[in-house]
Structure 1
């Protein structure tokens, strides 16, 4: 009962990433700007793909799911960080911390599997174009997306249940701007070695398995593209695949850096910087990478703008 009184009633303190110095105020304003761009960019991608029937294909459906995940991911961390910074309060309740962990871990896991599904989609489209309607039917595509959400949510439930089962003591100050599991575990009064091993195993499943699928898919894709004759098909294949590989490199590189290192090798400053990269910056870059390098998305956007002008 003493532990329950200590944790559930008092919660935690998020030390954050900014103080109220002039330079940090400017950086905070920059983060808010990035958040607005990410929010609008990902919302626009979801709406464009939903509204334009020409984008109702497996590739763009998966892309809309990625944008939705990015939208939810950035809304999981930045609003609470901004609220704490502007109000001067740094507290977060146990329930709030658990909620952040669940959505954060679930969305990260879901994106891992979704990016693998997107790589498989490109492999089938380029290497087996005649069988694409069968191998990537709307039903199969929907099952891939649903499986990504379900597997990610399962990982979120497991990590929340285990992380909140530990006892926490001391100053209860989390050296982060949100409730990240590795940062939270530094406050634990009990042995977390078993849980660290469990996180490592989860990372192998959630990160290395999808990476293996991605590498295998794009190895075949690159070979197929190399053997293509010069022309529009080869250019389009390179543009689409390079966009996806840019996202994969940013996302998986940062996630592996955070979650596949032992606690003894962690630096709070490094963890906060890398976490800010793939929870704030990457969700902004994803829609920009896919829209700026994709003619179909650009055409859909211009079509919506033209409809708006005609209505005026």
Structure 2
């Protein structure tokens, strides 16, 4: 019996009445933009916030629950993911609309680009940077996503979330504890929606800013490749790509994984890369940068799941830290 079937048999009637979709032994390479990775024991896509709350209350605490977004900044290891993976449905969590004065309400599964489009329609400035981020609002809230000199924390008014017990919470901007590419909000929270604020601006100015963001992406980033976006966070005082380049890693390949020759802080799947290839390449780059400049690059890409036996990857390739 597969891990997914065993899990669902074990839970039996606990999951009765849920309206969302449960998929046992879900192939995560169908979800991630890298198009690589193992399987999850089970994937749950809740119908709405009430359905998600009922699910969390039904699943015993000892069963792992892992939340993923639209898969744009995600590396899944080949050994797969134990327990449930929760992926918010577009129908239940993917809407964005202008509300009140200068505000937008967005579900956590809403693509960032959609929020930028809604802001344009409403004549709200300050959201143009989302036009260039290939992710969803849930991930942006968790990691304080930013681009073109603007960060999510500058737009957040409040965030709605569920905890592991299915209880609802509302967090203010200050309570999210934002820092560079980081939120200190508890890791067991599942963000469901947010209220964001902008400033009135002429639509032609907003459109021009969005066009500039798009032009920049098309000019310097490998946006048509199977990529996870920026691989490493920018260290203080420098840029990750400069350190990767200085360490001689532009274009570096391991298996089917490559540091993009176009933008060397982007890791791409050239067609045959496994999760192991991608993570080994990343750690090889980290080790070479550490040796070259003494800088310890931090992953921006989220890596989840178990290593496949024999395909474990040590941080910095096991170098002394």
Q: Between Structure 1 and Structure 2, which shows a larger proportion of strand residues?
A: 2
Q: What is the TM-score when the length of structure 1 is the normalising length?
A: 0.26
Whose RCO is larger (CA < 8 A, sep 6+)? 1
- Structure of greater Rg: 1
TM-score (norm 2): 0.26
